[in-house]
């Protein structure tokens, strides 16, 4: 005996998807590869040492003292060569002088001033200066502040958008082109069952996608979810719902794959750029920000970052969640009204 | 009210460039197999889709199983089975999965295994739809139409493009469905299909019924049981046949040659040969056949069914 129509429709959609190896690749492997590439490209590393040069009769002695600084990279140079390198910025500071050291540098360069302070400190210590008070250093490496921490929620949001819209849009237009939609409404099937099955099957894939990406990001980059996992999961479902709704609306009348692809790109490309996937939308002019924040992907990314990096709860993400729900509900409602079955 | 399966009156559907259905009346009794026969573009598909409740008519009245589509659609959908022209099922699903999906839409229906046996699909039950042949796909489409145990089966060009063996298999399925008391409405542009399967036929052209009756009645309308076709070199002029045509039910120029509708071949063929010989021309081809629905269509419209 078959199950209820909604269950059978959802099963069919899931089967159709998992039997399409290319689709599985784009949904699962692509975001992983992107995370991997960008994660390594922008990984956190200790700041480079500042290159400086030493010349003059004390060059050997001074360079031994300067080598103790963890910040400086010291080289003993010939006078002419040293001037040339300083001019071309290959070294930021030149230590010269016959008896007393002379620091030659461009004071408008922050790294040159750092080098000057470091070099002087090293030489003074070597000459016997002792600290009057003993200070202690404590290094800050806040989790959630690295680029990868910014990137992973953005990629997750982008993936939820892409798979939500394509997953629903492509399959609907395909079924319309094959006249399968028309054949289905020639049965007693409820139209709402069909549309809900699209949504439910999305939620099933979404669970897999999100788990896969999050476990990967945690294992490889130690990107964790600081907030509640339940809040995080619910947020992903709300995001999936919003983008399924938009996908349904975009696909509600399109007759060809080309037409729906064009419309999908029209909807998605501005969000890839504006919604803070790869870089923060704070860089856009203030006048544009209210519009950017009203975009569903911005709302999802903001909420995901708040939950993953800042451990935010529902109260703090109420605004973006409201934006997402509004997009989802309005688009679903509109799609149901304008949907063309044949 | 007699037991009608389908009853429509003065059905009209105009598109901007064509009057697809232009005042059509049909009465189809329960248990009957009724055929809509006509060339491509005659309005068959529009008509059947209006009756199926998939396309709204501009005007006219449709009753299916005594019910109107408006407000009773769901109830009606439970009781009819439809095979559309060129539906493609999802390639990635198997035969049994597709059938199970369609079965789930109906409150009552037929057992998938039994249905696959009836349609000779049991060997293919675990094959993906994308791997099926044209005939197998069409049988699956009919299986999906039958899975809800319908009272009426609608088939829109069920055998177009199929090989002869697949056509025979489908005809058998239709025959068996009728033995169970089912009503069938089918469209076709194959006259042999219509003659073989249908109790009654409506010949449709330009959205109108131009002839209606049993196959035998329709052929009888030609008032001639045989057709003679011939060509000659040089081609014969019309005047040479003026008196010949007068004696028969019809004579028309067909391409380079002529076509005559006659009662008796034994009487007509020698006369034709004599006239050709008298005119000094040479006979190139001569053929005869028993009159068919195709000949009726040609007689009614002056065009052929296939390429009209």
**Closest Cβ–Cβ partner in B52, B93, B148 for A12:** B93
Q: How far is B264 from chain A (nearest CA, A)?
A: 49
Query: Which has the closest alpha carbon to B82: A173, A329, A187, A302?
Result: A187
User: Highest mean pLDDT: which of A143-152, B46-55, B250-259, B278-287?
Assistant: B46-55
| Cα B215–chain centre separation | 11
pLDDT band at A45 (very low <50, low <70, confident <90, very high): low
Chain A residues in contact with B103 by the CB 8 A cut-off are 2
User: What are the φ and ψ backbone dihedral angles of A69, each rounded to 5 degrees?
Assistant: -75, 130
- The residues of A whose Cβ lies within 8 A of any Cβ of B are 2-5, 7-9, 11-12, 15-16, 19-20, 175, 178-180, 182-189, 342
- Chain A within 8 Å of B144 (Cβ-Cβ)? yes
Bridge partners, B4 (sequence order): B29
Query: Which has the closest alpha carbon to B301: B229, B226, B206, B188?
Result: B206
ipTM surpasses 0.90: no
Residue range A105-133: average pLDDT?
Answer: 89
* pLDDT reported for residue B16: 92
- Chain A within 8 Å of B137 (Cβ-Cβ)? no
Q: Using the beta-carbon criterion (under 8 Å), do A188 and B148 form an inter-chain contact?
A: yes
Q: Using the beta-carbon criterion (under 8 Å), do A180 and B77 form an inter-chain contact?
A: no
pLDDT band at A140 (very low <50, low <70, confident <90, very high): low
Q: Using the beta-carbon criterion (under 8 Å), do A186 and B77 form an inter-chain contact?
A: yes
Strands B208-213 and A72-76: unpaired
Q: Using the beta-carbon criterion (under 8 Å), do A9 and B88 form an inter-chain contact?
A: no
User: What whole-number distance in Å separates Cα of residue B46 and Cα of residue B55?
Assistant: 7
- Cα separation of the two ends of chain A: 29
* pLDDT reported for residue A21: 84
Q: Using the beta-carbon criterion (under 8 Å), do A19 and B105 form an inter-chain contact?
A: no
Query: Which has the closest alpha carbon to B209: B10, B4, B55?
Result: B10
Taking one residue from A and the other from B, the number of pairs with CB-CB distance under 8 angstroms is 71
Residue B152 has pLDDT above 60, yes or no: yes
pLDDT band at A156 (very low <50, low <70, confident <90, very high): very high
The position carrying tokens 């007693």 is A188
Chain B residues in contact with A19 by the CB 8 A cut-off are 92, 128
* pLDDT reported for residue B1: 45
- Chain A within 8 Å of B217 (Cβ-Cβ)? no
> What is the residue-averaged pLDDT of chain A?
89
Query: Which has the closest alpha carbon to A71: A95, A88, A47, A90?
Result: A47
B82 → chain A, closest CA residue: A186
Condensed to tens digits (0 to 9), the pLDDT of residues A265-291 reads 999 999 998 998 888 888 889 999 999
Contact A208, A215 (CB under 8 A): no
B80 → chain A, closest CA residue: A187
B145 → chain A, closest CA residue: A187
Condensed to tens digits (0 to 9), the pLDDT of residues A183-241 reads 999 999 998 899 889 889 988 888 888 998 899 888 888 888 888 999 999 999 999 99
User: What whole-number distance in Å separates Cα of residue B74 and Cα of residue B19?
Assistant: 29
**Closest Cβ–Cβ partner in A3, A180, A189 for B89:** A180
* pLDDT reported for residue B3: 81
Going through chain B in order, the beta strands assigned E by DSSP cover 4-15, 18-29, 33-37, 59-64, 80-83, 152-156, 183-188, 200-205, 208-213, 226-233, 250-254, 257-262, 282-290
| DSSP secondary structure of A92-106 | SEEEE-SSS-EEEE-
- Determine the Cα angle at A154 with ends A150 and A159, to 5°: 150
Q: Using the beta-carbon criterion (under 8 Å), do A183 and B82 form an inter-chain contact?
A: yes
B103 → chain A, closest CA residue: A2
Residue range A118-130: average pLDDT?
Answer: 89
Q: Using the beta-carbon criterion (under 8 Å), do A183 and B78 form an inter-chain contact?
A: no
Token digits of residue B54: 């998939």
The per-residue b/e assignment along A286-322, b for 16 or more CB within 10 angstroms, e otherwise, is eeeeeebbebbbbbbbbbbbbbbbeebeeeebeebbe
Residue range A40-67: average pLDDT?
Answer: 83
| Cα A74–chain centre separation | 37
3-state helix, strand, coil in chain A (%, to 5): 65, 5, 30
Q: How far is B46 from chain A (nearest CA, A)?
A: 13
A174 → chain B, closest CA residue: B90
Q: Using the beta-carbon criterion (under 8 Å), do A180 and B102 form an inter-chain contact?
A: no
Condensed to tens digits (0 to 9), the pLDDT of residues A77-111 reads 888 888 899 988 889 999 998 888 999 999 988 88
A21 → chain B, closest CA residue: B92
Q: Exposed, middle or buried, A15 (CB in 10 Å: 0-12/13-18/19+)?
A: middle
- Residue with the bigger pLDDT between B100 and B226: it is B100
Chain A residues in contact with B74 by the CB 8 A cut-off are 188
3-state helix, strand, coil in chain B (%, to 5): 40, 30, 30
Question: Which site among A20, A178, A188 would you substitute to test the B interface, given the most B Cβ atoms closer than 10 Å to its Cβ?
Answer: A188
User: What whole-number distance in Å separates Cα of residue B48 and Cα of residue B152?
Assistant: 12
Chain A residues in contact with B52 by the CB 8 A cut-off are 186
- Chain A within 8 Å of B156 (Cβ-Cβ)? no
Cβ neighbours of residue A185 closer than 8 Å, sequence gap 6 or more: A191, A341, A342, B54
Chain A residues in contact with B82 by the CB 8 A cut-off are 183, 186-187
Q: Could you tell me the CA-to-CA distances from A162 to A21, A248, B129 in Å, in that order?
A: 17, 13, 28
- Chain A within 8 Å of B86 (Cβ-Cβ)? yes
Residue B308 has pLDDT above 70, yes or no: no
User: What whole-number distance in Å separates Cα of residue A2 and Cα of residue B97?
Assistant: 10
Contact B140, B129 (CB under 8 A): yes
| DSSP secondary structure of A235-288 | HHHHHHHHHHHHHHHHTSS--SHHHHHHHHHHHHHHHHHHTTSSS-GGGS-GGG
């Amino acid at each position: 005996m078959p199950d209820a129509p909604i269950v059978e429709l959802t099963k069919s959609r899931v089967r159709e998807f998992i039997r399409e190896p290319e689709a599985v690749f784009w949904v699962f492997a692509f975001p992983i590869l992107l995370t991997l590439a960008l994660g390594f490209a922008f990984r956190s590393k200790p700041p480079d040492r500042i290159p400086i040069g030493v010349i003059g009769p004390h060059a050997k002695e001074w360079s031994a003292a300067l080598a103790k600084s963890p910040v400086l990279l010291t080289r003993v140079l010939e006078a002419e060569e040293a001037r040339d390198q300083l001019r071309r910025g290959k070294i930021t500071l030149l230590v010269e002088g016959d008896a007393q050291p002379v620091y030659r540098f461009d004071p408008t360069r922050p790294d040159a001033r750092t080098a000057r302070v470091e070099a002087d400190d090293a030489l003074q210590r070597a000459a016997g200066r002792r600290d009057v008070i003993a200070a202690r250093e404590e290094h800050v490496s806040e989790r959630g502040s690295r680029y990868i921490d910014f990137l992973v929620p953005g990629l997750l949001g982008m993936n939820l958008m892409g798979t939500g819209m394509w997953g629903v849009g492509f399959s609907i237009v395909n079924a319309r082109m094959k006249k399968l939609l028309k054949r289905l409404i020639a049965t007693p099937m409820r139209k709402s069952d069909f549309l809900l099955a699209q949504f439910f099957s999305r939620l099933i894939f979404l669970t897999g996608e999100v788990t896969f990406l999050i476990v990967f990001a945690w294992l490889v980059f130690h990107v964790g979810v600081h907030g509640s996992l339940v809040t995080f999961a619910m947020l992903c479902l709300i995001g999936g719902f919003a983008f399924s709704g938009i996908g349904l609306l975009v696909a509600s009348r399109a007759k060809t794959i080309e037409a729906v692809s064009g419309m999908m790109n029209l909807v998605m490309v501005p969000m890839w750029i504006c919604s803070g996937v790869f870089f923060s939308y704070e860089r856009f002019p203030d006048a544009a920000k209210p519009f950017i924040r009203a975009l569903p992907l911005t709302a999802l990314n903001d909420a995901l970052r708040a939950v993953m990096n800042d451990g935010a709860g529902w109260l703090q993400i109420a605004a973006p969640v409201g934006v997402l729900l509004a997009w989802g509900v309005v688009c679903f409602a509109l799609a149901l009204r304008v949907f063309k079955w044949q | 009210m007699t037991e009608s399966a389908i009853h429509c009156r003065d059905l009209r559907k105009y598109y901007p460039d064509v009057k697809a259905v232009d005042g059509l009346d049909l009465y189809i009794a329960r248990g009957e197999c009724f055929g809509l026969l006509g060339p491509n573009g005659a309005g068959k598909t529009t008509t059947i889709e209006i009756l199926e409740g998939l396309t709204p008519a501009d005007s006219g009245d449709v009753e299916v199983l005594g019910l109107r589509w408006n407000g009773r659609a769901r109830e009606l959908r439970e009781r009819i089975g439809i095979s559309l022209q060129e539906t493609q099922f999802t390639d990635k699903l198997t035969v049994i999965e597709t059938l199970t999906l369609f079965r789930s839409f109906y409150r009552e229906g037929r057992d998938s295994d039994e249905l696959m046996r009836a349609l000779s699909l049991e060997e293919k039950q675990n094959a993906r739809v994308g791997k099926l042949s044209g005939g197998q796909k069409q049988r699956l489409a009919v299986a999906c139409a039958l899975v809800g145990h319908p009272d009426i089966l609608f088939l829109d060009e069920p055998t177009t493009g199929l090989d002869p063996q697949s056509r025979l298999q489908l005809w058998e399925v239709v025959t068996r469905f009728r033995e169970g008391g089912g009503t069938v409405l089918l469209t076709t542009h194959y006259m042999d299909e219509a003659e073989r399967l249908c109790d009654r036929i409506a010949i449709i052209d330009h959205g109108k019924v131009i002839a209606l009756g049993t196959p035998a009645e329709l052929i009888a309308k030609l008032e001639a049981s045989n057709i003679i076709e011939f060509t000659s070199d040089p081609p014969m002029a019309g005047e040479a046949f003026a008196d010949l045509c007068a004696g028969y039910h019809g004579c028309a120029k067909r391409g380079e040659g002529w076509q005559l509708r006659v009662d008796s071949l034994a009487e007509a063929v020698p006369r034709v040969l004599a006239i050709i010989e008298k005119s000094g021309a040479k006979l190139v081809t001569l053929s005869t056949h028993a009159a068919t629905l195709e000949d009726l269509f040609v007689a009614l419209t002056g065009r052929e069914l296939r390429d009209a």
